[in-house]
Structure 1
Amino acid sequence: MQKDQLFTRRRMLLAGAAALGAAGTAGVVVASGGGEETHSAVPVAGPQARQALKPSAFRLQPFAADAPPRAAPRKLKARHEPILRISGRGRHMMLTFDDGPHPEYTPHILDTLAEYDVRAMFFVCGEMVVENKKLVARMADEGHVVGNHTWTHPLLTTLSREEIRGEMERTSDAIVNAYGERPQWFRAPYGAWNRAAFQLGAEMGMEPMAWTVDTTDWMTPGTDTIVDRVENGAAPGVVVLSHDAGGDRSQSVRAIRRYLPYLLESGYHLTVPPRRMS
């Protein structure tokens, strides 16, 4: 499938899926705040350097880059709702980027994160991974968390269980091939979750991660609008959703250059979930 056709298909699906994802997310917020157990990811705080660092100062070694793929991931207990927030004391937030990696936009986002020595999560699509393995390896090398975002970015609620399994397994395999470890996190395209996605993700050793603040940068609303949504939505525990592929993401590239230093100057610590040891 040509990339321009893919972008068009995604925009068409978003019209129908956005409401579904928003409704599901809103329901989880109410449930989490209504006395039930809140499922949160405990963050790992990284150094929040204000000045650009030399590569040797912030790069981490790739995780088992030369190791063979594991025979089977550790299975987890299936959740009934995705994780929306991160826990922990203090002003912690998390930045996440979906749909990449993209050879034009992802490097700029990685450069900005490196400049401020900040880690983020990248939920990648398998078909993009196979074309940009070096970018996935760079994500891992620089301490970012790589998550599974399916192979072709479909609306999972329209697929059979086996089709969902294929989308997820192929992507995990591609990530392993790119940097040597299976992803430990999964995000459903469009935020459209179903029981099969939760169950299959758990079988593959992946926790479901959603978001708290949606920049809606996929609509290309303008750099100022994206920046305002991040800065106005900033709060302890917030998970921010942005995109580094799936269309023209030049606004997203410009926006992070503005809101990232603002968040750091406001006392926020940008974190990522801990890496589970198998």
Structure 2
Amino acid sequence: MSPDAAAGALADTVVEPDAGAAVPEQQAAPDAAVARLYGEPLLRMPTDLFIPPDALEIFLDAFEGPLDLLLYLIRRQNFNILDIPMAQVTLQYLKYVDQIRLHNLELAAEYLLMAAMLIEIKSRMLLPQRKTEGDDEAGDPRAELVRRLLEYEQIKLAAYDLNAVPQLDRDFIRPQLFVEQSSVPAWPDVDAGDLQRAWMDVLKRAKLTQHHRISRQELSVREHMTSILRQLQSARFVEFADLFDGQGSVPIVVVHFVAMLELAKETLIEITQAEPFAPIYVRLAYSPA
């Protein structure tokens, strides 16, 4: 809607009451209430009703700044933004600024700055262009304004695209479902590496908890005594270390040594040594014929 039409619409909405005319008392049906005040039905219009002047404001076209208004005027008239007719655009812009100055002077100050820039550009276009040194032709006075308008339009379109993206708590809400923790199984988040490390730990503990079983082996000292006597009968002297060859495990060697001591105790064999640290020999005991 153009600024002229906006001003006309605002003028049509304002009705000046006649000071001398009497205001007829509005009667309403018993069942129909004019309004409700604190929940109670109001059956007639109060005669002392006062409405402040600024209680109701109608904004026909809301703009976010001077560039937004200027871009709106250009696009509405299908003007070429690279060849703006400054006379028409400036005239429409000034009409809109005159309207907002009547309602909000602080807001109009920002628009007045742009109006001064438009007037300056218009005046520069009316004056003959001066050639500068090094330039064949002077630049277009509208170039800077066109650049700002194009940049603003790009940012505005990008803002519309971002605004179209669904946003939390504006276009949708995040559902919240309360579930008892006991009814929902909490499965651990593991991978193959965790399983491999757990298996290696089990094997390590299994090696540390091995049991040593001792089996009972029955050994006879008498049998070993007989074995020693048989071994000495076939040789005159037998070295002490050679007497234990082929005995196998430690328990057998111990029993074999005990059997030798029993034979020496019963004087059936003799254990001799020629000198200290010399070899020890075992032989059958000498018995006279």
The answer to whether TM tops 0.5 is no
Q: TM-score, normalised by structure 2?
A: 0.21
**Between structures 1 and 2, the one with greater strand share:** 1
Q: TM-score, normalised by structure 1?
A: 0.22
Higher relative contact order (CA 8 A, sep 6+): 1
Tell which structure's C-alpha radius of gyration is larger.
2
